[in-house]
A = this chain, B = another copy of it.
Amino acid sequence: MKIGILGTGMVGQAIGGKLVELGHEVKMGSRSAGNEKAVAWVQQAGSGASEGSFADAATFGEMVFHCALGTAALEILEAAGHDNLKGKILVDLTNPLDFSKGMPPSLFVFGTDSLGERIQAAIPETKVVKTLNTIANPIMINPQSLGQDHDVFVSGNDPEAKAQVTNLLKEGFGWSNVVDLGDISTSRGTEAYLLMWLRLWQAFGDTNFNIKIVRQ
């Protein structure tokens, strides 16, 4: 499949690299084509990898991964061009982290709204599926590295889009447990969990962890 990536940071690079490895054609988008990090990523990821502007990546992808900083998430969607995303699946990995009030960060949307919902509202003709925002990027693409089963979550309004993303997470990324939380408003749950994740990171001293839901 042709897949676009919005964002050139560690998450975009990890996801993009994995997708290329899985045989997909992946275009990494940034503010302007020729971005240093994107070019370096293309060289490293090899055949199947390309780069361009946000709009280039959005146009190229049949599915698009949003891997940018939460603070820039909506602005980047504008740069990508809402029309270029019409009818497609946007896999939303962003978190509304607010670093402006000191460390550890807080969230700039919370409780009665979420960044996932704001993104879906900005691009109503795109099927937004929020996922993978609850774990560090090495675990996103290599869940087996923790040696035990653990869970990833999907939130979104379109069941078929969620099924397609779930399939990619399972067959492609190697996740055994994908929990469907419900519609996009359930992003409020996974985004709020980030504050717990930050405290676990602080307590453990590393990000090599995730949660498993234990049920009766």
Contacts and interface: CB of A to CB of B under 8 A. Distances in A.
A79 interface: no
A53 interface: no
A199 B182 contact: yes
A144 to B, nearest CB: 11
Which secondary structure dominates where chain A touches chain B? mixed
Nearest to A211: B211
Contacts of A190: 196, 199
- Residue from A101, A192, A200 having most chain B Cβ neighbours under 10 A: A192
A186 B199 contact: yes
Interface in A82-104: 98, 101-102
A146 B214 contact: yes
A34 to B, nearest CB: 37
B211 A216 contact: no
A180 interface: yes
Nearest to A187: B199
A210 interface: yes
Interface in A42-91: none
Contacts of A192: 192-196
Contacts of A181: 199-200, 202-203
Given A181-B200, A189-B200, A196-B193, A214 B214 contact: no
A211 B209 contact: no
Question: What are the 9 closest A-B residue pairs judged by CB atoms, nearest first?
Answer: A189-B199, A106-B111, A192-B195, A208-B216, A189-B196, A193-B196, A150-B214, A211-B211, A209-B215
